[in-house]
Amino acid sequence: MSQKSKKSINKSFVEHWKEDVQKSVLYYNEWFLKFAPSTYIKSREEAIEKVENIFQRTDCLNSLSVNMLKSVPDSIIILRMATTPPLARDRLVGLADISRDLVKKLENGELPKKQSEQETEIELDKIVKIIKKLLDTDIMPWLDKKSAPNEIDRLLAKQIIGDRVCGSLADPLIRNEQEHRQLNYIKDFLIKKGYRFVESKNISDVKLMETGTFSFHLNVPVKNDLQKVNMPIDVVVKRKKSSKNEMPILIECKSAGDFTNTNKRRKEEATKIKQLKDSYGDNVEFILFLCGYFDTSYLGYEAAEGIDWVWEHRIDDLLKAGI
């Protein structure tokens, strides 16, 4: 199927949108009810273990120090949740007068590389001072006495802080697991259709991909104003029947657990398709792979931008794209 003869997959069939939205919501909800509780329990257990590790390193937060933060940078996630009130990342940035990038690096288990050790220690000291000032002594009463906690207080504090950490990470955890599941679903579908998976690191030019192959998380160069930037694409598929230099199909995996966020973020896809068309022409194929809460308002907006979609609950619609 050439790009010039491509047909509508779902965007032109407005009469089916409402029914598909209902099916997609039910599909997502069934997955969520099976997955979310077990994931939350597992991540809470992991968070409590991390709290215990920090307790051991800091004498139950009696001796919080810059050196500890340097040795375990991602402990910043635990420490933010050990305060009252629990500190959001940006709130900590404002209170400590530090850069947001520093906190993000720490959360990823890294220390800044583009500044001296002395500069880093000054920044970390600001963090430690704010955390110490706001530590939650209601759940850690031993801090006021500068003593060791009894076993019950220690256990309760670990569980409360672990719950806070888990709660702050719950949505990203669910999104990541959903994306992982969507990618595996597409992978199984394509392999059954005779396609071969190729690691993105082994693809130097998106247009020169071998026919009958696909890849995940491939950076596709696009024009952004007067410069070129890389646009990460979730799934890139080079049809079996396509010319050597023909552009592959670009697929973006999207899932949502409520209608509000999807309508807030619908302009992101419009920006992407514009940049892709500016870079590769009007025939570029950019498809959304949807699961969850995408209402008719969202669909209408995307259709108006020339973007088509495949529902996860009806993955065979990928065949309409010539796969």
pLDDT tens sequence across 243-285: 777 899 999 999 998 887 787 778 889 889 999 998 998 889 9
Burial class (CB in 10 A: 0-12, 13-18, 19+), 117: exposed
Same-domain pairing of 239 and 217: yes
Q: What is residue 208's predicted lDDT score, i.e. its pLDDT? A: 87
Same-domain pairing of 234 and 278: yes
Q: What is residue 36's predicted lDDT score, i.e. its pLDDT? A: 81
When divided into structural domains, the chain yields a total of: 2
Same-domain pairing of 215 and 314: yes
Write the DSSP string, 43-54: HHHHHHHHHHHH
CB 146 within 8 A of CB 62: yes
pTM for this prediction: 0.74
CB 22 within 8 A of CB 294: no
DSSP 8-state code for residue 72: S
Same-domain pairing of 78 and 158: yes
Same-domain pairing of 297 and 206: yes
Q: What is residue 6's predicted lDDT score, i.e. its pLDDT? A: 61
Q: What is residue 138's predicted lDDT score, i.e. its pLDDT? A: 95
Mean pLDDT, the chain, whole residue set: 91
Among 171, 191, 220, the domain boundary falls at: 171
Nearby residues of 20 by Cβ (< 8 Å), 6 or more positions away: 10, 311, 313, 314
Q: What is residue 41's predicted lDDT score, i.e. its pLDDT? A: 85
Domain around 258? 3-35+176-321
Average pLDDT of the segment spanning 142-169: 91
**Of 16-25, 68-77, 174-183, which range is least confident?**
174-183
CA distance 274 to 218: 18
Q: What is residue 114's predicted lDDT score, i.e. its pLDDT? A: 84
DSSP 8-state code for residue 319: G
Q: Where are the alpha helices (DSSP H) in the chain?
A: 17-58, 66-71, 75-80, 89-96, 100-107, 117-134, 142-145, 151-192, 259-264, 267-280, 296-304
Average pLDDT of the segment spanning 59-79: 95
Same-domain pairing of 166 and 181: no
Greater confidence, 2 or 20? Answer: 20
pLDDT at 230 over 60: yes
CA distance 215 to 191: 12
Same-domain pairing of 205 and 290: yes
